[in-house]
Chains A and B, each alone.
Chain A
Amino acid sequence: MTERRGSTGAGDPEPGPHLHDELLGELLDGDLDPDARLQAEDHLAECPQCQRAYSELVDLGHQARALPQEIQPTRDLWPGIQAEVRRRRPWVTWGYGLAAAGIAALILGTVFFSPWGHEMAEMESPPEDPASTTFVAQVREVEEAYEPTIQELRLLVEDQELAPETREVLEESLAVIEEAIREAAAALEEDPGSPQALHGLRRMYDAKVEVLRLVAGRSSSI
């Protein structure tokens, strides 16, 4: 663990076995066991040469830690990064809000205007009997018809490892549809007996189910 650090000159006291550099480094880094540390510290207290060597190591560490943490590049690197980012994922430049609105519109449009949408509604919706129910009961009936499916799909979506932007688009799309559901419910409240208003509300729930199915990977229709 020790070495001779070289001649100290005729006037120096008898040079003892010095601490070698590696050991000084270990002392500095706190890597020595307690006994070795005590031994090294005892020697350091008596040996000016090893004190000097240790002090140089300490200074070197201080100087290194004092170096600036930030250095600005001499040119702007952003244009190259931006080009590469856009090349790899060009869709992001559309903006996620636009993408969300686009998906919701696509789903709503498909549900409203495709024969497939009507077929799905007929398969999944309970029979309509607006004359025998109040507005509240009508809304509850629709909710109860769709909520189990929605909850099931929600769980499937939660289990998926979605990219943050995909999740963002999903939530934006669902928000658009929720707004449409509120409007359809308001129309039904104004005219509780209207089959058209009830049908409109169901179509909005169809849209919500379809968005969730799309993300959960349970639909290949869109």
Chain B
Amino acid sequence: MTREVGSHTEDVRFAGSEPSPSTEPTSLQRARETRRWVERAQAGDVRAFEYLYRDHVGRVYALALRMTADAREAEEATQDVWVRVWERLETFRADSSFSTWLHRLAVNRILDRMRSRKRREGRSASLDDPGVNRWGTEPSKTEERMELERAIAALPEGARTVFVLHEVEGLKCREVAEATGTAVGTVKAQLHRARKLLRGMLTP
């Protein structure tokens, strides 16, 4: 397996006794494989942790990008999430799914960052700030999807957060309320607002 690490290409070969990503693993095989990598990472193996990162970073970055609507902030949040994952990995118990645990940790960490940022700036992060690159350059996406992504990114922060967590990530209103530290009624109101705004933006 050859991959880019930093500015150079590193040939990363793992010994035969170590878990290795197979070509098309079933979900059960994949879960077992992930568990083995997690166990190694919990024991302090940074290479195993890198494997977990590379296997799951797309999921974390997608979440961060949609919640923050800012590619630069999403990258920083993604890095921050993974450093936190490393710190908290020992608390992960194998009786739950790593990706579920990771998702929960990522949501909480990204929300923490957004709250801190809001406090620092004394206002919601404006999506119209010059220099904000909302989505970077993502080729090969359908126009319809891009239109929805842009519309989501243009939502006010509160409505966007709730919409992304509920509609894209599939959290229940109660779970969104717990994660954001708000009342369920507030979540529903924000969800209603988001839907209304999106329909307005997407309807010709």
Contacting pair B46 A56 (CB below 8 A): no
Whether a CB of chain B sits under 8 angstroms from the CB of A168 is: yes
> A65, B43: Cβ atoms under 8 Å?
no
A31 within 8 A of B: yes
Tell me which of B46, B138, B152 contacts A82 (CB under 8 A).
B46
Q: Is B31 an interface residue (CB 8 A)?
A: no
Q: Which of B17-25, B78-86, B113-121, B124-132 contacts A (4 or more CB under 8 A)?
A: B78-86
Whether, in the assembled complex, A77 has its beta carbon less than 8 Å from a beta carbon of chain B, the answer is: yes
**A interface footprint on B103-143 (CB within 8 Å = 1, 0 otherwise):** 00000000000000000000000000000000011100000
Any B CB within 8 A of the CB of A124:
no
Chain B contacts of A163 at CB under 8 A?
Answer: 90
A22 shortest CB reach to chain B, Å? 5
In the complex, which residues 110-130 of chain A have their Cβ closer than 8 Å to any Cβ of chain B?
A: none
CB distance from B94 to the nearest CB of A (A): 11
Q: In this complex, what residue of B is CB-closest to A64?
A: B167
Contact in complex: B46, A85 (CB < 8 Å): yes
Bound-state CA distance A78–B145 (Å) is 28
Q: Is B26 engaged at the interface, CB distance under 8 Å to the other chain?
A: no
Residues of B with C-beta under 8 A to A64: 148, 152, 163, 167-168
Report if B192 contacts A (CB, 8 A): yes
Number of chain A interface residues as a range: 35 or more
Residues of chain A within 8 A of B163, CB atoms compared = 64
Within 8 Å of chain A (Cβ to Cβ): is B49? yes
A66 to chain B, nearest CB (A): 8
| A71-B58 contact given A77-B79, A81-B82, A88-B83, CB 8 Å threshold | yes
A74, A80, A91: the one contacting B137 at CB < 8 Å is A74
Alpha-carbon separation in the docked complex, A163 to B58 (Å): 28
Main secondary structure of the interface of A (DSSP, over half): helix
A195 interfacial by beta-carbon distance below 8 Å: no
Whether the Cβ atoms of A60 and B202 lie closer than 8 Å is yes
**A93 CA to B44 CA, complexed, in Å:** 8
* B198 within 8 Å of A (CB atoms): yes
How distant is the Cα of A134 from the Cα of B136 in the complex, in angstroms?
79
- Closest beta carbon of chain B to A61's beta carbon, Å: 6
A25 touches B195 (CB 8 A): yes
Cβ contact within 8 Å between A63 and B148: yes
Alpha-carbon separation in the docked complex, A142 to B167 (Å): 66
Given contacts A25-B195, A64-B148, contact A88 B57 (CB under 8 A): no
| Interface 0/1 of B53-78, CB less than 8 Å to A | 11001110110011000010011001
> Quick one: given A63-B148, A77-B79, are A88 and B58 in contact (CB under 8 Å)?
no
Residues in A60-115 with C-beta less than 8 Å from chain B: 60-61, 63-82, 84-86, 88-89, 91-93, 95-96
17 further A-B contacts with Cβ under 8 Å, apart from A71-B65, A74-B137, A77-B78, are A25-B195, A29-B173, A56-B203, A60-B202, A64-B167, A69-B59, A70-B58, A70-B61, A72-B57, A81-B82, A89-B44, A89-B86, A91-B44, A92-B46, A96-B44, A96-B45, A165-B42
Q: Please give the residue numbers on chain A whose beta carbons come within 8 Å of chain B beta carbons, in ascending order.
A: 21-22, 25-26, 29, 31, 56-57, 60-61, 63-82, 84-86, 88-89, 91-93, 95-96, 163-165, 168
